[in-house]
Amino acid sequence: MRGFADYNPIAAAVYFLAVTGIAMFCMDPVILALSLAGALVTFALLCGQGGRAHWYTLGLFLVMALINPLVSHNGVTVLFVMNHNPVTLEALLYGVAAAAMVVAVLYWFRCFSCIMTSDKLLYIFGGLSPRLALILSMTLRYVPLFGQQAKKVKQAQTALGLYKEDNLIDSFRGGMRVFSVMVTWALENGIITADSMTARGYGLGKRSRFRLFRWRAGDVLLLTGSLLLAGLALMGVHARAFTWYPAIAAAPMDALAIAGYGAYGVLTLLPAIIHAKEAIKWHCLISSM
Amino acid sequence: MIVIKNSRVRQMLRWVIPLLAIPALVALGAAVLPEKQHLLVSLGVAVLAVVLFLTGFEQKKTGARRMVIVSVMVALCIVGRMIPLFKPVTALTIIIAMYLGGEAGFLTGALAAVLSNFYFGQGPWTPFQMLAWGLIGLMAGYLAPLLKKSRALLLIFGVLAGAAYSMVMDVWTVLWYDGGFNPALYLTAVAAALPHTAVYALSNFAFLWFLARPFGEKLERVRVKYGV
């Protein structure tokens, strides 16, 4: 079973770039609605329950939707006048659209974070610069290592009776001391690591790297598919030429616009389609056993 | 897949990006795109600037020790960011830039942004954060002799860098929301972010007050002990 998470990271990154890029740069209501719906479906499929994050996003949506009509007074349809400033229908609708865009992009990035784990980032950066990839992988290793070491230092300090946690100032000073010990230890440890690397010949030859992912037919398909669908969607948006100010206007829906919207709809659902395809395949395999 | 394997291509990128790509992008944004597309241009410039820096990094012969110290500092930034209400990234970036130079500062700031966002959430703001923190590091590197000499100057720089970071990120918020730069929205965003700006500035102040000297001593000690 090869879900969306198992595709080549470069293909997946291009997919996310295309789908979020269009949502960010095309303030077209149909595109935004499709993007928001697709992002929610993808999020539910790839990341599971969001929990409290959904409520936070809803609050963000409401605040952002309401701010625009209060500070922006463009537009021709005046709804009412507040503090000698007109509040317009266009600004209100634009605020809702902008808020939808922000929320959709947030959800796309949450999906991105679920899918693009640090090993995949390393794969992409490693292509850019092997040395940078080495720094990245060392850093990612240091984060949990420092956590463990901090715990050890803290236990030793507590056992020596050097600090208690029953008053705030003492615990702050203790915390600072643990941090200070940690920094010294981390720096010396780093130097020793570096010396050991040099002793083993780091930097003498060309750096090669370990590649966790290969290109398969599906990856190429995902890459070209994303780019083609994104191109079609951009053409459709361009043909529609939606404007918000001063009055809401758009070219009539022609075949190109419909094709563009359709393409973007398919693009947002690509992970869901891959998911469904694999589920059906799996179902067939089980039933044929 | 190695994207930039050839060192000559990398060399070329170092020249093409600042001299051709960034001006071309800005000119294109001004001339061709409708006026509300500042977002696209600024995002493109941020990404290009970071790429430019990274290609330059691969070119230089950086010793293993400097490299490991940078990754240690980045890891400390990430661990520090996990403590609530505690924003040590700017301060640590300034400190490392003071002692190891602007390039290490840029790298620490930029990498701390992208890597810590793995724990705090990536977003379209990541390239901006990388650029903002990176530039703070680069500037601290240029100003290093002054900052080392005077503690007051260092603290002022820290407060200004914290405030500037927050205000640059507000520019980004407005660009993202509105597509173009709307001064009224910007003022609203700055006002809404005022508590954050204050936290940034104050935590930089506190961090540099408490940590600049001990950190400097530690880095100095490592330098004396191991001869970095």
Which of A75-79, A94-98, A224-228, A244-248 tops mean pLDDT? A224-228
- Residues in B touching A190 (Cβ below 8 Å): 65, 68-69, 71-72
- Which one of A143, A188, A211 has the shortest CB-CB distance to B75? A143
Q: How many CA atoms lie within 13 A of A79 on its CB side?
A: 12
CB contact under 8 A, B123 and A105: yes
Q: How far is CA B9 from CA A28, B20, B45, B176, in A?
A: 39, 15, 20, 33
> A81: part of which helix (H) or strand (E)?
strand A78-82
Contact predicate B196/B161, CB 8 Å: no
Residue range A75-79: average pLDDT? 78
DSSP annotation of B19 reads I
Residue range A180-189: average pLDDT? 88
Q: In whole angstroms, give the CA distance from residue B142 to residue B145.
A: 8
Contact predicate A130/A209, CB 8 Å: yes
Name every residue whose Cβ is closer than 8 Å to that of residue B215 and which is 6 or more positions away in sequence: A183, B92, B95
Closest CA to B95 of B51, B8, B158, B165: B158
Decide if pLDDT at B3 tops 50.
no
Residue range B135-145: average pLDDT? 88
For chain A, what are the domain ranges?
4-120+214-288
Q: In whole angstroms, give the CA distance from residue B218 to residue A164.
A: 26
Work out the minimum CA distance from A231 to partner chain B, whole angstroms. Answer: 17
The pLDDT value recorded for residue A136 is 83
Work out the minimum CA distance from B205 to partner chain A, whole angstroms. Answer: 16
Q: Is A87 helix (H, G, I), strand (E, B) or coil?
A: strand
Q: In whole angstroms, give the CA distance from residue A47 to residue A35.
A: 17
Q: Angle B151-178/B38-59 helices, nearest 10 degrees?
A: 130
Count residue pairs from A and B with Cβ separation < 8 A: 149
DSSP annotation of B17 reads I
Work out the minimum CA distance from A259 to partner chain B, whole angstroms. Answer: 23
Q: How many CB atoms lie within 10 A of CB A175?
A: 15
The pLDDT value recorded for residue B23 is 67
Decide if pLDDT at A268 tops 90.
yes
Backbone angles phi, psi at A80, to 5 degrees: -160, 170
CB contact under 8 A, B226 and A195: yes
| pLDDT tens per residue across span B74-91 | 898 888 777 665 677 888
